[in-house]
Structure 1
């Protein structure tokens, strides 16, 4: 059976399919982890430790001597994504009550939910899409996108917007595994090679574990609001990312579309932040549900939009170069 080959044909399939399998299991058999216990429970419920190990390995894989193209591409996308989330947070802080909207059609919406949904790109999905529709350098931009992973950037944005304060050791704890991996990987090339191999291997495992934090009923629970927030993530972050990719990173905008998703890891951010700052405890459950819906919505739509955008741009580019040659390529 060519299972891996089949997964590779699906945009972001190596993460998306395990995530959907995990969500299916959690939706229809939510007691599976407790029933079997042991290592089975560890794989199903191990979101945080698996992500911690993945974050460490990602740090080890980043080379200080990375090419300028990769650094420019990834830096532009990361900074743009974070800047947009920060600006949205500033605006939301003035329009949304501190503890979120409590009634009406927008009940459950909070700045915590918005920032968590917008500030992290699904790196695995991005890498898979750019392997299919982009260049090697664009795919390599995934390395610096890892800086967004975990609650650190969400904490920074909320703090910068004056919405929360965190103890210094919380910031250190959020990024320490990444920094240790980064240091070891750059001190010893053998360790870099050793740990780097695990970054791809761990993707389906944390995809499955993250899926087990999602229940498909959240789409019903969050209703139209969750779906609209997912669409807003694509539009509000995607448009600036497209222009940033074209104007600053030297791309054609495809990488910007591919980066306009919500990371699966973002589902855990509201609860993690609530543990660090109890002021968010009351709104963390609704924020988690909304972010989970955003993960599902963007994981489905972003690959489709990336494929459509890439196809349309490629046709225009080929036509400008040589109409006869372009026709032959498409034949």
Structure 2
């Protein structure tokens, strides 16, 4: 039936489709989990346990054996993305209450939605784009982008922005599964290969559980606003990332454009933050829907923008090709001179 191929043809499909199905179930049969109980209820409501396993697997997939150039590139992109999200959150907090906007076109918009959408980069898409339009070092920068997955970096960003204070136990608890997975993956390459398989497998399960916290009213009310948020992610974070890539990482800006997206994992952040800090609970459902829309928008627009930038200024540009040809000619000229 080619179900998986059809799902994969949708941007962020393995996240968006199960999320949509979960929202369907919650909208039309909201008591299904309680009715069946047992494992069925666990599958429907088990967002946090499923996510904890997923974070562990992500940690295990990261290797310490990366070149300094790769670490510098990924460090610049990750830190600038986080700082940009924090600054956007601070500015937004001057105009938006903690519980979010409750009337007008901006209904549902909150500081939590803005930070969650801007904070996490779609690492898989970034790596695929850099393999096609960037260098090997730029593709390898994916290694530290996994650190953005999950609530920890959003908690850090909210703390940097002065918008929330989390107990140190909560901060450590959010990071611990990732750290344990990271340690095991680097101690044993076979364990890394084994647990890495779980990264993709767990996505539809936690997405379905997340969808069971949404309903179609929330999704419909935030649809157009979610598109605007996605465009803002590309414009705002894309600008800072391109500048950082050029001036700090000594690149040509292609990696910056490729990182201007919202990760599918960002959809998990609002409900988790709300479960930790109750003041964000009123804004979490709308924030989840907004971030989900931003995932789709950035998945559709970031690839063609990256391709255009690469042809104009990057590895596909005539200037870059001429420079590479000149470098390749130098050894041949030296040999001829001898």
The alignment partner of 1:282 has SS state of helix
Does the aligned pair in 1 maintain the 2:122–2:263 contact within 8 Å? yes
The alignment partner of 1:121 has SS state of coil
Q: Distance in 1 between matches of 2:129 and 2:43?
A: 26
Q: Distance in 2 between matches of 1:247 and 1:45?
A: 46
Say whether 1:194 aligns with 2:190: no
1:302 match: 302
The alignment partner of 1:281 has SS state of helix
TM-score, normalised on structure 2? 0.79
The 1:215/1:126 distance shift into structure 2, 3 A limit, reads farther
1:25 match: 21
Deviation at residue 268 of structure 1 after TM alignment: 2.0
Displaced runs of 4+ in structure 1, greater than 6 A? 1-8, 35-45, 207-217
Q: Distance in 2 between matches of 1:248 and 1:209?
A: 40
Segments of 5+ residues of structure 2 without an aligned counterpart are: 326-338
Task: Identify which range, 192-201 or 79-88, moves more after superposition.
Answer: 192-201
Q: Which structure is larger by alpha-carbon Rg, 1 or 2?
A: 2
Does the aligned pair in 2 maintain the 1:18–1:208 contact within 8 Å? no
Q: Distance in 1 between matches of 2:311 and 2:43?
A: 38
The 1:234/1:46 distance shift into structure 2, 3 A limit, reads farther
Task: Identify which range, 48-57 or 161-170, moves more after superposition.
Answer: 48-57
TM-score, normalised on structure 1? 0.81
Q: Distance in 2 between matches of 1:83 and 1:307?
A: 26
Segments of 5+ residues of structure 1 without an aligned counterpart are: 326-331
The alignment partner of 1:109 has SS state of coil
Q: Distance in 1 between matches of 2:200 and 2:289?
A: 27
Task: Identify which range, 74-83 or 268-277, moves more after superposition.
Answer: 268-277
Deviation at residue 55 of structure 1 after TM alignment: 2.0
Please list, as runs of the form range in 1=range in 2, the aligned pairs for 1:113-262 lying within 5 A after superposition: 113-199=113-199, 202=202, 220-262=220-262
Does the aligned pair in 2 maintain the 1:267–1:288 contact within 8 Å? yes
Deviation at residue 244 of structure 1 after TM alignment: 1.4
Q: Distance in 1 between matches of 2:40 and 2:258?
A: 33
1:52 match: 52
Q: Distance in 2 between matches of 1:139 and 1:83?
A: 22
The alignment partner of 1:66 has SS state of coil
Q: Aligned pair count?
A: 320
Q: Distance in 2 between matches of 1:82 and 1:236?
A: 12
Deviation at residue 45 of structure 1 after TM alignment: 6.3
Deviation at residue 258 of structure 1 after TM alignment: 1.7
Q: Distance in 2 between matches of 1:52 and 1:133?
A: 33
Task: Identify which range, 223-232 or 115-124, moves more after superposition.
Answer: 223-232
Say whether 1:265 aligns with 2:265: yes
Q: Distance in 2 between matches of 1:257 and 1:82?
A: 15
